[in-house]
Structure 1
Amino acid sequence: MSSRTRTPAPDAGPGTGPAPGPVTGPILILDDLRGGRMHLSALFIAERGTALPPLLLESGSVTPEPLADYESHTVLRARFSLPAETASAYRWNGTLFEVTGGFSGGLRIAYASCNGEEHGDLERDGAERNAMWARMGAAHRAAPFSLLLHGGDQVYADEATCGHPLSEDWPDRIPRVPTREDLADLRRHLRERFLQRYLAVYSAPEFAWIAARVPSLMQWDDHDICDGWGSLRRARTYSPVGQTLFAAAREAALLFQHGCRDGDLPPRFADPEGRHLGWRIEAAGLRLLAPDLRSERSRRRVMARGGWRMMKAEAERRFAGRTLLLSSVPLLGPRLSLLELLMVLMPRMQKYEDDLRDQWQSRAHRASWRRMLRMLRDMAAQDGQQVTAISGEIHLAARGEMALGGGKTLHQLVASGITHRAPPRAWAKVLGLLSWLGDAPLAGHPIRIRRIPGQAGRYAAERNYLVLERRGGEWSASWDLESSGRSEPLPL
């Protein structure tokens, strides 16, 4: 078949065509951009023993192959490529899936984060939960996206530890010396619970529709493992139960977020061994840079040697165009260290300590924060390069700026809460008041929290996602807010 079909087959949305048994997918994942091609993985989750039909391409066909087995399901993957610069398509199971391409010219990118909630997420009403995914799908029909970026917390796995005696009370109480047999049983339990989470999220029709047509790139955050991973006490994270939990979460992230497993990571990853999961993608005038802020994290560090080595190499790399840095937690924000100090004095508030220690602005990470900001300042000092940070994590929409010198500005764009319900507006006001104090971790480079166009406050307490757009070489950003609607474009 030709990918430049003049009369595309009717597409009535998700579920069109005869299904070969219960199958979730295809979920498109961008492995790499090179040689003018998008190298892609199409991910499927099917009941064990299900034979999947091949993907039909202009160049032939490719059959999904097993990637991992679970008790009742198999994860399968088909790797293939499509043109990076022009529109194309693939067909699977009787449905034509059109893919935009367009990486060399005008470009639209969607960014979302926090796809779930800590408690009861799988029991929520689907239409309510996925309303913003439906909005994104409508926006794609009107003006197609070339890429979908996921900024962390693709699933909320906090309840995955429930139901097993070793992890039922995680992280408050854990057994001191569990047996190998019990740990093996815990691993089986956790693998199945992670599968259930990803299966529920990926099979939602509103998400599945756009994920089959727009290639995704993902970066994980704490809830993809457990709430506060890396900011919990070392006795928890380095315990046998903690390490079993991390291993199960990492395997699931490789499978479901990156369409791979150990030993066959795509070339965009900085470390082929996967000791950290930082990656980069480069297109004409665009570099996407996603350091891993979880694999090496501890209470006293955000990244270890591998992550910093990756960032140093990218800071020194010559590049002309726009660098989008995916920082799962916001790089620019208010002085949260003041809240940390208050929590030390107020025992009832200390349960939120891990949430604040997760942030770059934490007192524990201030040296690392300065180091990252210096790298971005030096990166942006190169002729012809601009740097923008995009983040999620805080369940609010916001933006910040830091003057870099030479007429350049580091923009911080925060879009958080694609399905996570917004926190109380009072919390947005508290953060807004803190932002009046300002901060300058780098001397001479003050940070300012600015309003999103059309918003009265500095933080918007609404579910949202971000749209980044390049037209004629100029970039802009706008937020789609659940109640306020689409903001006016912000020039970058």
Structure 2
Amino acid sequence: MSVLLGPVLQFRGCSDPDYNVSALVVTPLDSPSPKVTKDAGLTAGKPVPLADIPLLKPQYRVWRIDVKVAQGTSKKTFNLSIDDQPASFEVPARGQAPRMAYASCNGFSDPKLMDKVDKKNDRWDDMAAVHQRTPYHLLLLGGDQVYSDEMRGRVKSMKDWFAKGMDGRIAATFTKGIESDLDTFFTTLYMERWKQPEPARMFAAIPSIMMWDDHDIVDGWGSYDEGLHSCPVFQGLFRTARLYFRIFQQQLITQPAAQPSPDVHPCQIAGIADGFHMGFTGLGGLSILVPDLRTERHPDFKRGDFTPTQIISAQSWDAIFAWLDKVKGQRHLLVMSSIPVGYLDLQAAEKALDLLPGQQELEDDLRDHWRSLPHRDERKRLIMRLLDYASSTNGCKVTLVSGDVHVAGVCAIESTLQQHSVGGAGVIKQLISTGVVHPSPPALAVYFLESLGAGQEQIDYKITGTMLPIGTRGRYLIPARNWMAIEPDENDPRARLWINWHVEGLDHLVTQVIDPVVKAGP
């Protein structure tokens, strides 16, 4: 068999009347161009080589096959095969909002956690069973599609580097040996993780939209101090992780370097400074904004104090909101923020840690979050712009979907300002679903988090954030592995969304309803 990994389907946007999908496969380096067979109605392009990996010592070739189909008056399933490896996906009817599955945290941050989980891919199997009954059209993957944490044990050169004191790490050179080791590591990481039968089945059945988070690079990327963040080894690690993110998660041409211009995703937002910020429209009154919260992160330490840091550059924010201002006539906007914008108050824990020496690893996790003190101004601007958008003449309901925190939860961000008073526009729900593989924190830790931070947050004048009870007994967090379905109500002319968490160990769904904005009369 020539295909070693894949097909991995990816959604590449709508270009009226076409619905665009691509399929990634990996073959041995010396294999010929893959042979593609397909159903009538699908148009397939010639297989495009993306890269030979590992990039420094190639053994495999990564291919992308672009396919498109004109959307019809009813939904329809299409099949294709790449060197006899099948893929099958359903295309929604023209003007129909897609049924979506959301997941994040597809792995383990600590090998010790693996021993505590009996069936590691149970939630992927559960998703497959639901998809078999009523197919999903999009698979939203919100971060940590792979976990690089095991490099500390599997890559000797990095194990030695992490063993150094802070000054030694900062001064170390990013040698060719380290670069080659990381290159091989990321090849193996994606190949091993993504060829597991359970996630591989879903990757070949639902076109995905992927955005990375810290574990796709290194735990806490962008939240360490300036010296460590900018040192040669950390920057070299980031560049390597970014190359593999481009290849596997964005399906972009990374070689040859002699390309006339860099390959970009067809749904990349124009005018950004850097990163992989994307926007999707043409989805039956639903649009999806997918900002990259990792590429442009930059810490700034002055006089030994942690001062405000950048998550996304001002230029990219301007480009993101310029794109959004052009998106008219939508009922729903989903914003995929890899880290929750609305969540528990972790500032008290962060302040407590400031009193304790030697707590840097925990501090990095806390400072990673939107509610951390260094990020609060940037977060506030984001919230205000989304509220303004929702209450504008677009009349569009804004909903945030996030992962990262290894629990399920819901937060309501609410404005009672007059300019946000159009029916329902002043409420943004934050939906949290994580992890599909990674286990939840211990029950005692979850209880501590709920006790510490589940109160109402005053974001700004007349703007609050409130964690909502979810599940049973008034709890605010569900400490169990889960994935989330986002399902348009096809029989409701108001086009509400049904949100259903599929939680391990529960024999029932946990449900929220998102209604569109009720537009004011003339």
What's the TM-score, normalizing by structure 1?
0.89
AA paired with 2:49?
P
Contact 1:89 1:96 in 2 (8 A): no
Contact 1:152 1:219 in 2 (8 A): yes
Between Structure 1 and Structure 2, how many residues are aligned? Answer: 471
1:476 maps onto 2:498 in alignment: yes
In structure 2, the CA distance between the partners of 1:416 and 1:56, relative to structure 1 (3 Å rule), is same
1:309 paired residue number:
318
AA paired with 2:402?
S
1:441 paired residue number:
459
1:33 maps onto 2:14 in alignment: yes
Identity fraction in percent: 27
AA paired with 2:428?
L
Paired residue for 1:69, among 35, 52, 59?
A: 52
AA paired with 2:140?
L
Q: State the 1:89 CA deviation.
A: 1.1
AA paired with 1:225?
I
1:226 paired residue number:
218
AA paired with 1:128?
K
SS in 2 for 1:67: strand
SS in 2 for 1:128: coil
SS in 1 for 2:311: coil
AA paired with 2:291?
P
2:297 paired residue number:
297
1:237 paired residue number:
229
Q: State the 1:122 CA deviation.
A: 11
Paired residue for 2:468, among 450, 463, 483?
A: 450
2:80 paired residue number:
91
AA paired with 1:413?
L
Distance 2:448 2:158 in 1: 39
In structure 2, the CA distance between the partners of 1:139 and 1:125, relative to structure 1 (3 Å rule), is farther
Q: State the 1:175 CA deviation.
A: 5.2
Q: State the 1:341 CA deviation.
A: 0.3
In structure 2, the CA distance between the partners of 1:464 and 1:123, relative to structure 1 (3 Å rule), is closer
Distance 1:111 1:361 in 2: 23
1:401 paired residue number:
412
Q: State the 1:387 CA deviation.
A: 0.1
Distance 1:175 1:445 in 2: 43
In structure 2, the CA distance between the partners of 1:481 and 1:137, relative to structure 1 (3 Å rule), is same
1:101 maps onto 2:91 in alignment: yes
SS in 1 for 2:161: coil
Q: How does 1:119-158 map to 2 (within 5 A)?
A: 119-120=110-111, 128-158=119-149
Distance 1:338 1:122 in 2: 27
Contact 1:322 1:388 in 2 (8 A): yes
AA paired with 2:400?
A
SS in 1 for 2:99: strand
1:47 maps onto 2:39 in alignment: no
Contact 2:52 2:60 in 1 (8 A): yes
Q: State the 1:464 CA deviation.
A: 0.4
Q: State the 1:82 CA deviation.
A: 2.6
How large is the Cα RMSD of the aligned pairs? Answer: 2.4
Q: State the 1:271 CA deviation.
A: 4.7
In structure 2, the CA distance between the partners of 1:308 and 1:106, relative to structure 1 (3 Å rule), is closer
1:264 maps onto 2:263 in alignment: yes
2:429 paired residue number:
411
Contact 1:53 1:63 in 2 (8 A): no
SS in 2 for 1:480: strand
Write the deviation string for residues 131-189 of structure 1: whole angstroms up to 9, x where unpaired. Answer: 1111101110011101000011110012235524366333855556666xx63332222
In structure 2, the CA distance between the partners of 1:275 and 1:122, relative to structure 1 (3 Å rule), is farther
Q: State the 1:340 CA deviation.
A: 0.7
Write the deviation string for residues 235-274 of structure 1: whole angstroms up to 9, x where unpaired. Answer: 1221111111111111111111011135111221125888
Q: How does 1:322-471 map to 2 (within 5 A)?
A: 322-347=332-357, 349-383=359-393, 384-404=395-415, 405-406=420-421, 407-408=423-424, 409-454=427-472, 456-471=474-489
SS in 2 for 1:76: strand
Q: State the 1:335 CA deviation.
A: 1.7
AA paired with 1:99?
F
Task: Give unmatched runs, 5+ long, in structure 2.
Answer: 255-261, 300-308, 515-522
Q: State the 1:315 CA deviation.
A: 4.5
What's the TM-score, normalizing by structure 2?
0.84
In structure 2, the CA distance between the partners of 1:144 and 1:127, relative to structure 1 (3 Å rule), is farther
Q: State the 1:42 CA deviation.
A: 0.5
SS in 2 for 1:196: helix
Q: How does 1:271-290 map to 2 (within 5 A)?
A: 271=270, 275-282=274-281, 283-290=283-290
SS in 2 for 1:266: coil
Q: Return 168-177 or 473-482, whichever deviates more.
A: 168-177
Write the deviation string for residues 71-122 of structure 1: whole angstroms up to 9, x where unpaired. Answer: 3222111112134453131321446533111162253100000111113389
Q: Return 460-469 or 291-300, whichever deviates more.
A: 291-300
Distance 1:343 1:303 in 2: 26
Distance 2:98 2:76 in 1: 12
